[in-house]
Amino acid sequence: GAGVSQSPSNKVTEKGKDVELRCDPISGHTALYWYRQSLGQGLEFLIYFQGNSAPDKSGLPSDRFSAERTGGSVSTLTIQRTQQEDSAVYLCASRTGWDNEQFFGPGTRLTVL
């Protein structure tokens, strides 16, 4: 079946602009995560959605970052007033409600000029 998909695969933007990154999780997966991976670094947790519960936003680095998940499926990560330090690969992952395994998408590479 289809895996986690993300769009766009690459995004180049100018400092100060807003960007939206999209994630389509695996159908039926109730949990969805966003991570940030900077060059040569590990995965930094950003936000977690589980079903209809309030999201865990504890990893969002600033109030310029926000995310929503509509209808328990597609999620959008929004970064407002982008800064050069926001340049990274943004990864989305999803999992079922009863298994620990997270399935990752290919990521969106964001470059802020």
Partner 1 sequence: QQQVKQSPQSLIVQKGGISIINCAYENTAFDYFPWYQQFPGKGPALLIAIRPDVSEKKEGRFTISFNKSAKQFSLHIMDSQPGDSATYFCAATNGNKLVFGAGTILRVKS
Distance (Å, whole) CA 99 – CA 95: 7
**Closest distance of CB 26 from partner 1, Å:** 12
Complex with partner 1: residue 19 or 31, whichever CB lies closer: 31
Give the nearest distance from C-beta 16 to partner 1 in angstroms. 28
Give the list of residues 6+ apart from residue 81 with CB closer than 8 angstroms, or none: 16, 17, 18, 64
Q: Are strands 10-13 and 108-112 parallel, antiparallel or unpaired?
A: parallel
For partner 1, give the closer residue by CB, 16 or 51: 51
For residue 86, is it left (φ>0), alpha (ψ between -120 and 50) or beta?
alpha
How far, in whole angstroms, is CA 59 from its chain's centroid? 11
Residues that bind partner 1 (CB under 8 A): 4, 31, 33, 40-43, 45, 48, 50, 56, 91, 93, 100-107
Minimum Å gap between C-beta 70 and partner 1 is 20
Q: How far is the CB of 48 from partner 1 (least distance, A)?
A: 6
Looking at the Cβ atoms of 33 and 65, the one nearer to partner 1 is 33
Q: Closer to partner 1 by CB, 63 or 101: give it.
A: 101
Instruction: Quote the CA–CA distance of 38 and 29 in Å, as a whole number.
Output: 26
